Structure 1
Amino acid sequence: MTGLKAILIDDENPALMQLERLIEADGRVRVAGKYTQAQSAMEHLEAEKAEVIFLDIEMPEMNGLEAAERLRMIDPDVLIVYVTAYNHYAVEAFERNALDYLLKPVEPERLAKTVNRLEAQLLLQKSAVQEKDSKEPMILCFKQLSWNENQGAGGEIKWRTQKAQEMFAFLVHHRNKRVTKEIILRTLWPELPVDKAVTQLHTSVYQVRKILKSRGSGIRVDYAYDSYRLVMGNVQTDVDLFQQVAGRQEVVTLREWESLDRALSLYRGDYLEEHDYFWAKPLAEELRLKFIKASLLSVEYERKTGKELRAIQRMEALILLEPFSEELCRMLIALYASSGNYASLVRYYEAFVLFLREELDTSPEDQTAQLYKNLMSY
């Protein structure tokens, strides 16, 4: 939970500074802003998300309890921790759905317990969001064609024939667009005479429609103008959700990073990877490159905002996807060095050198070797 973002509000500067020192000493929370007026904190929250607000109750211009209500109007998910010199405020604080309260002067041990509660609550919130997302109707295309829907009939689809499965995959590939019967026949049954191919097509369409009807998803196969079309209705694919976010050119705010992180988590493997359909390979390569580019964008944000461990984990996953990449190698060893993890730096670089020698009978580029030498000289 390192990097938990907080805003501090107290009308007295010395109290703000003391709380900031205690928070920094704990090390699990990052102070994104501190304010002596609640209005300034509201403007901050409107521009940039924070997970928690440490809020003084006794303030002259706006009572802390009132300020909390207005802050929650901006972000209903923000957690509130009241800070007060009077114990009798605690009951009212909890009635206002505060996560916790701290009595002044704040003790380090008491603050640590509050941060523990913050971490636990945020994990619960994240799990609830993931559970909700997992129940949204969705066709999954990354790695393996499968179904994730709120009716509880998700998972791998049991097809009677592989061609019926490919027919469905091909229609999903062209979802909501008409595909002529000629193109389908030429793509899926190029080796068969036309009459036999048409028979196979009709059989496969029947099986697809039967599966769709049994699942009650609202998806249907439409036929008109000698063409077929898969009408998706409100059901999306993981590829749709991925593409909506992964094409961004920069990540500036925490919310942008969180959105990109969720999109990247959808990429469980290459597009229809386990099925090896030749017609899917161009899109698979396009999505793979987009995933790498978006991942590097996320790594850059994580590196700049103190999330180096997350950046390293993401880079290590990318290396598994592109093990020959010298550029990724240089980025990873630089991250290892900046985080002080020289043992991992040496272990990975030596493995990379051995991998290139055994697989390609070559050595790292001069730029990569020189960077390694420079990093190890510090």
Structure 2
Amino acid sequence: MRALLVDDEPLALEYLKKKLEYDIGGVNIVGLCSNPYDVVETAVKERPDVVFLDIHMPEMNGLELGEQLQAAVPRIEIVFITGHDQYAVRAFELYALDYILKPVRMDRLRLTVQRLRDKFQEGPDHSETAKTPLFLCFNQLRFQLPGMEPQTLKWRTSKAQELFAYLLHHRERTVDRDTLIELLWPDFEVSRATQQLYTTIYHIRQTLAKAGLTTVRIIKGELETGYRLTIGGAQVDTEEWEQRLKRLGAIDITTVGEHEQVMEQFAGNYLGEYEYLWAEYERERIRLLWQQHAENLARFYMHHGNTKAAIDVNRRIQRQIPDREETYLTLMKLYDALGDKSGVEEQYWLLATRMKELELALPPKISEWYGQWIRLRSSVLEEEATIHFKSIDSAADK
């Protein structure tokens, strides 16, 4: 077990080093730091399994330093050493494995070392090869590990789910504490809302840990002004989809298959299952990107005379955006081009029913087109009927 010891008192460092290396044994001390500003650099260089960290240091709070360590070396274990047990709750919010009260007792130190050994024997989640997740934000918030099926995080409360979604939405940026309180507990008095925030952050950390998402961390911002979600090497499917969309070239015979794949990858609106008002702008932005791409693909098929493919794309647009009147008219024209009378009437009936539910009148251009189609069809039917009866009369005369 590789350990880094941090305390602003050199004597305390030497005492702890002796207890761990000689009295208990099996602990390799890779560094002693009395200057808190050297700790993160030393941890990145030495990659210790655990840091024994004094909470009270004159130049930097040990809790703040613990968050910096977890951001720099995500799978590192932290044992806080303190003379005041009121820091215990904050320590465990940081996912500290343990905390030890000063003066350090030998039996208590042995217990902590045993806990560490047990922890390191649990499995590969604590190794450098921890699997990187993909967060799924199309429609429902889930995550997926390589080679596994998508999973849903088991949130303790709906507030915990929304807070995590909001921090994921603003990932790698510190969100002000007051902003989070106003978002989730606007009617609570400040002290109560603050406590709710601390508790919810704790539950989120617990949920992430149970799911094995060891590279995903919530870090407290500078001067404790807010929180930042760091996701390590994790990806977000909506972001990956947008990047792939931007890399596509113009639609032609050679690229149309890839354009189809990207259109199909759009699996629903951004966080569409949840009524988060703060997500509405991003939801609409991504939806419009998809809509414009799908419409371009439909026009390509229409231009090349592939009417059935154009219908398939427009019906997909219709399912995703049922209030877009233009799609109904486009489909009516496409079905008419195929001579599919029932297809035209189905689209007109669907739109008429929807507009009636909304207590709105049909758009004039659609009513006019359908009226012309009915009249033209009636005249065609009359002409066909006339020809039919003439052929019957002619046959009878013979």
Whether TM exceeds 0.5 here: the answer is yes
Residue of 359, 370, 373 corresponding to 1:372: 370
Contact 1:299-1:311 within 8 A present in 2 as well: yes
In the alignment, does 2:338 pair up with 1:308?
no
- The 1-side partners of 2:306 and 2:279 are apart by 35
Aligned-pair identity (%): 28
1:358 is displaced (CA, Å) by: 4.6
Flag the 1:272–1:364 CA change in 2: closer, same or farther, 3 A.
Answer: same
- The 2-side partners of 1:279 and 1:151 are apart by 32
Contact 2:325-2:351 within 8 A present in 1 as well: no
Flag the 1:220–1:153 CA change in 2: closer, same or farther, 3 A.
Answer: farther
Q: Which residue of 1 aligns with 2:122?
A: none
- The 1-side partners of 2:255 and 2:189 are apart by 52
Amino acid at match of 2:347: Y
Matched residues, number: 243
- Following superposition of structure 1 onto structure 2, how do residues 101-180 of structure 1 map, counting pairs within 5 Å? 137-150=133-146, 152=148, 154-180=150-176
Amino acid at match of 2:274: H
- The 2-side partners of 1:141 and 1:242 are apart by 11
Q: Which residue of 1 aligns with 2:190?
A: 194
Amino acid at match of 2:210: S
Q: Which residue of 2 aligns with 1:127?
A: none
Contact 1:271-1:283 within 8 A present in 2 as well: yes
Higher gyration radius (CA): 2
Q: Which residue of 1 aligns with 2:220?
A: 223
1:158 is displaced (CA, Å) by: 0.7
Contact 2:268-2:320 within 8 A present in 1 as well: no
Flag the 1:351–1:183 CA change in 2: closer, same or farther, 3 A.
Answer: closer
In the alignment, does 2:183 pair up with 1:184?
no
Contact 1:334-1:375 within 8 A present in 2 as well: no
- The 1-side partners of 2:162 and 2:357 are apart by 37
Q: Which residue of 2 aligns with 1:283?
A: 282
Contact 2:241-2:262 within 8 A present in 1 as well: yes
Amino acid at match of 2:160: A
Amino acid at match of 1:303: M
Q: Which residue of 1 aligns with 2:201?
A: 205
The residue matched to 1:360 in structure 2 has which SS? coil
Amino acid at match of 1:262: Q
The residue matched to 1:272 in structure 2 has which SS? coil
The residue matched to 1:351 in structure 2 has which SS? helix
Give a deviation string over 1:342-364, Cα, whole Å, max 9, x none: 32122222332343245324233
Contact 1:356-1:363 within 8 A present in 2 as well: yes
- The 2-side partners of 1:255 and 1:233 are apart by 36
Runs of 4+ in structure 1 displaced over 6 angstroms? Answer: none
Give a deviation string over 1:312-354, Cα, whole Å, max 9, x none: 1221232234334332122111222333433212222233234
Flag the 1:174–1:183 CA change in 2: closer, same or farther, 3 A.
Answer: same
- The 1-side partners of 2:147 and 2:283 are apart by 29
Contact 2:132-2:233 within 8 A present in 1 as well: no
Flag the 1:255–1:243 CA change in 2: closer, same or farther, 3 A.
Answer: farther
- The 1-side partners of 2:229 and 2:239 are apart by 15
Q: Structure 1: any 5+ residue segments left out of the alignment?
A: 1-134
- The 2-side partners of 1:341 and 1:246 are apart by 34
- Following superposition of structure 1 onto structure 2, how do residues 246-257 of structure 1 map, counting pairs within 5 Å? 246=245, 251-254=250-253, 256-257=255-256
Q: Which residue of 1 aligns with 2:9?
A: none
Give a deviation string over 1:136-170, Cα, whole Å, max 9, x none: 83211121111122263732211111111111101
Instruction: Give the alignment's Cα RMSD to 1 decimal.
Output: 2.8
Flag the 1:372–1:160 CA change in 2: closer, same or farther, 3 A.
Answer: same
Flag the 1:157–1:305 CA change in 2: closer, same or farther, 3 A.
Answer: farther
Flag the 1:204–1:346 CA change in 2: closer, same or farther, 3 A.
Answer: same
- The 1-side partners of 2:321 and 2:275 are apart by 19
Contact 1:251-1:297 within 8 A present in 2 as well: no
Amino acid at match of 1:368: I
In the alignment, does 2:296 pair up with 1:297?
yes
- The 2-side partners of 1:323 and 1:161 are apart by 32
Flag the 1:374–1:279 CA change in 2: closer, same or farther, 3 A.
Answer: same
Range moving further from structure 2, 198-207 or 256-265: 256-265
- Following superposition of structure 1 onto structure 2, how do residues 330-369 of structure 1 map, counting pairs within 5 Å? 330-365=329-364, 367-369=365-367
- The 2-side partners of 1:203 and 1:325 are apart by 43
Contact 1:247-1:294 within 8 A present in 2 as well: no
